[in-house]
Structure 1
Amino acid sequence: MRPAPGEVLHFSEDPAIERFVPHVAATAVETTPYVWAVDARSAPSYWFPRDCPRAMAWVRAGTTDLDRERIIGAGSGTRVHAIEYAWLDAMRTTTLYAYRLPAAAFAEIASPGADPHAHVATEPVVPLGPPEPVGDLVDCHAAAGIQLRLLDNLWPFWDEVITSTVGFSGIRLRNAAARP
């Protein structure tokens, strides 16, 4: 599930949102109220149940051959997403919806020194149409050629990723199992 040209996506388990209103999430570092959305590049980071902790890594300019093989895996594409075994059932059974939103209402946002990771709007946004079911989340990864790795615990993988030359993102890591 990717946005068409001129669109960004918002993923939700709620199929009844008629209007997105800017808000400050309880866990947000940002204090400005936003409506959050993602572009085609970032969409796969949200093919998960909302609360599922995930560690993601991808090849980027400057990724060494050694880190590519060590983190991503030899001959296994350019991106890997890792979750804990405890979340596999939720990955298989959660119904996730994609809302298509007008890209013109959004601006890119990035942490200092990082690539843009999302798009934000500061005014309410009405979806372009009804939400679309994303489908089987494991199948989404397979169809996109993204390796989905199941781990007992995310932290050893995460610690390797953040000290490597690959691009990375961690979402909902506070929900991961305790460090071993």
Structure 2
Amino acid sequence: MRPEPGQVLHFSEDPGITRFVPHVAPTSTRAEPLVWAVDHDRAPDYWFPRACPRAMAWITPTTTAADRDRILGPGGGTRVHAIEYGWLEAIRTVRLFAYRLPADRFTPIGDPEPHAHAAHEPITPLAPPEPVGDLLALHEAAGIQLRVLPALWPFWDATITTTLAFSGIRLRNARPRAD
């Protein structure tokens, strides 16, 4: 489930949204009200239940072979997403929907590369929401490793010290760090 050219996506467990109104997200570091969406490359970051903590890493042109092999493993593709065992059933059963939104109403957010797109005005979806479907199958079809771990913190700590690009979403919902 990716946006088509000229589109960005908003993923939600709510299939009844008819208009996206700018708001300040509780997790945002920005104080301005915004409507959030993602592009083609970042859509897989949201193939999860909303509250699911996840740690993700992917190779870039500057990723070293040693870092690639250490985090992704030999023959491990170009991207890995990690979750905790406690979220596996939710990933199997969540009903997730994608809203297609007009990209020309959004501005990329993030430096040096955009991680999201934001609009300052209300946005009406281009069509009714589409069921995203089987999230495990989406990962498989996209060639993204999905690791299920007892805890995210060891993976996260190892990843953020490498030359891979990385992102963590809803990490506050992860199991507490072991002492």
For residues 9-47 of structure 1, give each alpha carbon's deviation from its aligned partner in whole angstroms, at most 9, with x where no partner exists: 000000000000000011211001100000000000000
Correspondence for 1:119: 117
Q: Distance between the aligned counterparts of 1:27 and 1:46, measured in 2?
A: 15
Correspondence for 1:103: 103
Letter in 2 for 1:142: E
Correspondence for 2:15: 15
Q: Distance between the aligned counterparts of 1:66 and 1:27, measured in 2?
A: 34
Correspondence for 1:169: 167
Letter in 2 for 1:151: L
Asked if 1:58 is matched to 2:58, the reply is yes
For residues 90-127 of structure 1, give each alpha carbon's deviation from its aligned partner in whole angstroms, at most 9, with x where no partner exists: 000001000000001001001xx431100000000000
Q: TM-score, normalised by structure 1?
A: 0.98
Correspondence for 2:150: 152
RMSD over aligned CA atoms reads: 0.6
Kindly tell me the number of residue pairs found equivalent between the two proteins.
178
Asked if 1:179 is matched to 2:163, the reply is no
Q: What is the deviation of 1:60?
A: 0.5
Determine helix, strand or coil for the equivalent of 2:50: coil
Q: What is the deviation of 1:76?
A: 1.5
Q: Distance between the aligned counterparts of 2:124 and 2:77, measured in 1?
A: 36
% identity of equivalent residues:
66
Correspondence for 2:30: 30
Correspondence for 1:142: 140
Determine helix, strand or coil for the equivalent of 1:56: strand
Q: What is the deviation of 1:156?
A: 0.3
Determine helix, strand or coil for the equivalent of 1:170: strand
Q: Distance between the aligned counterparts of 1:168 and 1:26, measured in 2?
A: 22
Moved over 3 A (4+): none
Q: Distance between the aligned counterparts of 2:13 and 2:133, measured in 1?
A: 12
Q: Distance between the aligned counterparts of 1:45 and 1:38, measured in 2?
A: 9
Q: What is the deviation of 1:170?
A: 0.1
Letter in 2 for 1:157: F
Q: Distance between the aligned counterparts of 1:27 and 1:76, measured in 2?
A: 31
Letter in 1 for 2:120: T
In the alignment, structure 2 segments of 5+ residues that lack a partner are none
